């Protein structure tokens, strides 16, 4: 299909503008590593981010959602099959079209690292695969209980800062990303990105070494905290933007405040070459939709060449009738190619044609006769 293109770059600036980061697709990896009812807020943190990235355009096919527990169905939940991140309970995070890719005991350090690096089993379904390439921007969000250079999984194992740094290094070597935004909400969160060495990675965390991260508020009816502060104040910004927003990552980071968070946030930029005031928030939390335009002149020449090739093929085929004597010069491409296809079809053997079907009927009759005689002989022998 040919698309006419204006020669004035200003006519398409903005709408057809290519991403400055050079990426062509967005992915999100959202991980809650905590189990048990009292960690309700960690599930709410993750589902809140899940809802936000979907609203900003990242489809479920490009989201890996890992939830270590299902508090929505916990018997202590007096609002069954729901998860809320606010005591007002205006928005059920679990109520509409939530696709959990790894749940319960599937959320392990091994599965997380295998998913990031692409070293999954052959029978792993597509929904559990991070199918990224060197033009993918990836948001990696993690929440749970942590300490100095570790994050607990399921209260049974830990992933270290070294494990995470090694996983990102493998991703870089295998060209599995263009840029990564690593965001983590846990105690001593900033220590989790200290061992990252790979390029084009931007990282932020909720608290520095020896500091805890805190919940924002609880719900007296649910009986536990429903969201953490760091995630809450990120959402305050993210909920105010849409897919066309020009807000930048710097605008987001500038909202971080110790008096609100109760902890010292961290941002690591030494591996990330772009200025933060030139990085749209939607480069990681949204989705790009690039449109490839074809010049109308080139498209017309391509169609003409295809028409000529078709005509030359028809002249070389001995089974094609010469229609030049019956048609004048105004004959269309369709009028010339369609009869050609019909003549060629007449010389092709097809199952079900009169000649073929008679042969198959004869073979089937002989086979059935032999089988019947064999059955009768076997029956008489038994008698």
Question: For 357-383, how does the pLDDT look when each residue is reduced to its tens digit (9 = 90+)?
Answer: 445 455 656 677 776 666 666 655 554
Residue 68 CA to residue 83 CA, distance in Å, equals 14
| Number of residues written out for the chain | 383
The pTM of the full predicted model, rounded to 2 decimals, is: 0.73
Catalytic annotation, residues:
145, 187
Mean pLDDT of the chain: 82
Alpha helices in the chain (DSSP H): 40-55, 109-117, 161-173, 229-238, 249-254, 258-261, 282-285, 296-316, 333-345, 354-382
Coil vs helix vs strand at 250 = helix
Higher-pLDDT residue of 14, 254: 254
For the cut 60, the answer to whether the pLDDT of residue 276 exceeds it is: yes
Residue 340 pLDDT: 36
For the cut 70, the answer to whether the pLDDT of residue 252 exceeds it is: yes
pLDDT tens digits for range 102-159: 999 999 999 999 999 999 999 999 999 999 999 999 999 999 999 999 999 998 999 9
Mean pLDDT value across residues 198-213: 97
Which pairs from 69-73 meet CB under 8 Å and 24+ separation? 69/32, 69/34, 69/35, 69/36, 69/39, 69/43, 69/104, 70/43, 70/103, 70/104, 71/37, 71/39, 71/40, 71/43
For the cut 50, the answer to whether the pLDDT of residue 317 exceeds it is: no
Cβ contacts of residue 201 below 8 Å, gap of 6+? 168, 179, 180, 181, 182, 271, 272
């Amino acid at each position: 299909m040919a698309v006419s293109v204006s020669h004035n770059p200003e006519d398409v600036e903005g709408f057809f503008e290519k991403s400055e980061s050079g990426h062509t697709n967005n992915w999100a990896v959202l991980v809650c590593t905590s189990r048990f009812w009292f960690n309700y807020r960690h599930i709410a943190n993750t589902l809140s981010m899940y809802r936000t990235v979907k609203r900003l355009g990242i489809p479920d096919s490009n989201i890996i959602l890992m939830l270590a527990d299902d508090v929505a169905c916990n018997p202590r939940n007096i609002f069954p099959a729901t998860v809320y991140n606010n005591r007002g309970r205006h928005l059920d995070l679990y109520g509409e079209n939530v696709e959990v890719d790894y749940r319960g005991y599937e959320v392990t350090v091994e599965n997380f690292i295998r998913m990031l690096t692409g070293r999954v089993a052959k029978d792993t379904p597509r929904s559990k695969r991070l199918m990224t390439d060197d033009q993918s921007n990836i948001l990696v969000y993690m929440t749970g209980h942590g300490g100095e250079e570790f994050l607990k999984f399921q209260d049974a194992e830990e992933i270290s800062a070294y494990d995470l740094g090694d996983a990102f290094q493998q991703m870089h070597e295998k060209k599995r990303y263009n840029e990564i935004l690593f965001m983590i909400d846990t105690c001593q969160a900033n220590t989790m990105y200290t061992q990252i060495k790979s390029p084009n990675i931007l990282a932020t965390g909720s608290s520095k070494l020896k500091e805890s991260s805190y919940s924002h508020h609880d719900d007296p009816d649910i009986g536990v905290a429903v969201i953490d502060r760091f995630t809450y104040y990120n959402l305050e910004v993210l909920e105010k933007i849409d897919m066309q927003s020009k807000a930048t990552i710097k605008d987001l980071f500038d909202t971080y405040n110790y008096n609100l968070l109760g902890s010292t946030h961290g941002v690591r930029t030494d591996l990330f070459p772009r200025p933060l005031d030139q990085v749209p928030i939607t480069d990681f939390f949204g989705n790009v939709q690039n449109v490839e335009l074809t010049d109308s002149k080139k498209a017309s020449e391509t169609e003409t060449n295809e028409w000529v090739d078709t005509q030359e093929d028809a002249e070389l085929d001995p089974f094609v009738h010469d229609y030049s004597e019956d048609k004048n010069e105004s004959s269309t491409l369709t009028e010339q190619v369609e009869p050609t296809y019909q003549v060629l079809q007449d010389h092709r053997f097809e199952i079900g044609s009169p000649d073929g079907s008679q042969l198959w009927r004869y073979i089937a009759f002989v086979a059935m006769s032999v089988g019947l005689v064999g059955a009768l002989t076997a029956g008489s022998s038994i008698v």
